Structure 1
């Protein structure tokens, strides 16, 4: 049970740090923007982040996943960190949180 709590807490910590990363073209953090599809944490405190970009030709296609990996790996409890980039499903505005839509005047 304690192990489940630890992985859940680490997952929450990873999400919290991901919310400090902003898309350079849109003034919303990448989590609320819907670029983070999932955060997996195993019992060894290894983290895998499944993410996308707003488009395959995004100008930060190389730097943003690296920033995500570095920020997540900077957490004390993280053992290993892997970032997997996917475009399936493709990002769309429907993936944005209500908070992001409000911030961008879409609501």
Structure 2
């Protein structure tokens, strides 16, 4: 594919200065967590950690992708706030929050737009 693209096409493809960043999240819940506790955790996670930081989440209870709720990129500050929220929860024994990566093309390096 051509690399000399118009601004309009770069925006449509979400590349170069229009690159959007997010991160992958995997979680392991503590042993013996009831379904009601897990449901309550997910509700709080979505309300406080995701919506509360202007983020969006695509995935299930134990694995998903965090992105911005509108067009744009997750900031390092938002990622850190999410990480801090997860560290403060006793329902989760282990989690992995990846470094920021390209939402649309994860194999591409993060550009300096």
Task: Please give the TM-score of this superposition, normalised by the length of structure 1.
Answer: 0.44
**Larger Cα Rg: Structure 1 or Structure 2?**
2
The structure that is strand-richer by fraction is 2
Higher relative contact order (CA 8 A, sep 6+): 2
TM-score by length of 2: 0.42
